[in-house]
Amino acid sequence: MSELHKFLFDGQPVRGMIVRLTDAWQEILSRRASNTETGPYATPVRELLGEMAAAGVLMQSNIKFNGALVLQVMGDGPVKLAVADVNSDLTLRATASVQAAVADGDGLPELVNLQGGGRCAITLDPKDRRPGQQPYQGVVPLQDADGKKFARLQDALQFYMLQSEQLETTIVLAANDQVAAGLMIQRMPVKGEANLAGATESDAQGDDRNGFNEDYNRIAHLAASLTRDELLSLDVETILHRLFWEEKLLRFAPQQDEETGPRFACTCSRERVQNMLRSLGQEEVDSIVAERSHVEVGCDYCGQQYHFDAIDAARLFADAATQPPASSVVQ
């Protein structure tokens, strides 16, 4: 079961969270792998997309926002676009557009940022938009202020968080075919309305400038020591004990059930595909059946395929007059 854990460091201006996506991540990979047109993603793409899914959950859980957080990386490499979409209820999905061959061992620069044109974008799309309201989007390049390409997604996201929130953040991400996981540690302001003073047993103390808070620097150093293998293979309790056994953690109830935990969800469905086929018209659908003996439609987002044989296709138009018009795109 996928799970998210949040915690505070008692008496210190630091908060953290750790996510492990198991069944949700495996469902994303399974849908894409079973698609007969695309097949599975290459290993480097799977790893990047898994890290994005884990990061999306961490960042969505870090804000009070009713809507979707959409994490995108895009650029001039073989992966033109990769997207992780996480809603406020922690339902998530992820996809990538791969337009050229990917070599084993390719990292973020080779996948997305060959010529330095790569970008990372985070969009907050409100669930109930007011008239005229537009989604908020922040964009940063996949390189630092000196033009050095980020080797890892976590480096780009740390840069983004510092630029957008003006607070230091340490992120560790990893993914394989079974697990997509992430740890995030963030320094909270000592002063101001958003501070943690008074929320714990002792008042938060220390320098409030980026780079100067000793508590955060110590905890961030511990968090950054977490290896990829440890993040993927160890359970949450073991990770937190190994890293922070000398710290007093205030733990929140874990989010790990079917209602509150991270879980896969895509907006595609067989019913939506049926409506889309009806919008094409019976003549068009019949011509496809005559040529191929069936109609098969794949979701542009998750890769799920929906199969309709000749009998299924005929049934689509039996009550077509009662069906509403539909989009020709499934996602």
pLDDT at site 283: 84
Q: What is the pTM of this model?
A: 0.87
pLDDT in tens, 110-165: 999 998 899 999 999 888 777 777 788 899 999 988 889 999 999 999 999 988 87
Dihedral pair phi/psi, residue 249, rounded to 5°: -100, 135
Q: Which two tokens stand for residue 329?
A: 């795109």
Model confidence over 226-282: pLDDT tens digits? 999 999 999 999 999 999 999 999 999 999 988 899 999 998 888 888 888 888 888
Rounded Cα distance between 309 and 258, Å, is: 34
Handedness of CA 198, 200, 205, 206 (dihedral sign): negative
Residue 169: name the closest of 100, 117, 216, 135 by CA: 216
Max mean pLDDT range (152-156, 166-170, 200-204): 152-156
Rounded to an integer, what distance in angstroms lies between the CA atom of residue 324 and that of residue 210?
A: 55
Compute the distance between CA of residue 4 and CA of residue 6 in angstroms, rounded to an integer: 7
From CA 146, how far away is CA 329, in angstroms rounded? 41
Query: Each residue of 177-193: pLDDT tens digit?
Result: 999 999 999 998 764 44
Please report the DSSP string for 10-68 in residue order.
TTSSEEEEEEEESHHHHHHHHHHHT-TTT-PPPHHHHHHHHHHHHHHHHHHHTS--SEE
Specify which residues 140 forms β-bridges with. Answer: 120
Quick one: which H or E segment has residue 92?
strand 91-98
- Residues 6+ positions from 81 with CB-CB distance below 8 Å: 72, 73, 74, 96, 97
Residues, the chain, total? Answer: 331
Q: Which of 280, 271, 273, 155 is nearest to 224 (CA)?
A: 155
Token representation of residue 268? 């595609």
| 69-125: pLDDT as tens digits | 999 999 999 999 999 999 999 999 999 999 999 999 999 999 999 988 999 999 998
Q: Tell me what pLDDT residue 239 has.
A: 97
User: 10-24, 152-166, 235-249, 285-299: which has the minimum mean pLDDT?
Assistant: 285-299
Residue type, 108: L
Reading the block at residue 194, the tokens are 């958003």
Above 80 in pLDDT, residue 212? Answer: no
What average pLDDT does this structure show over 216-220? 94
CB 206 within 8 A of CB 215: yes
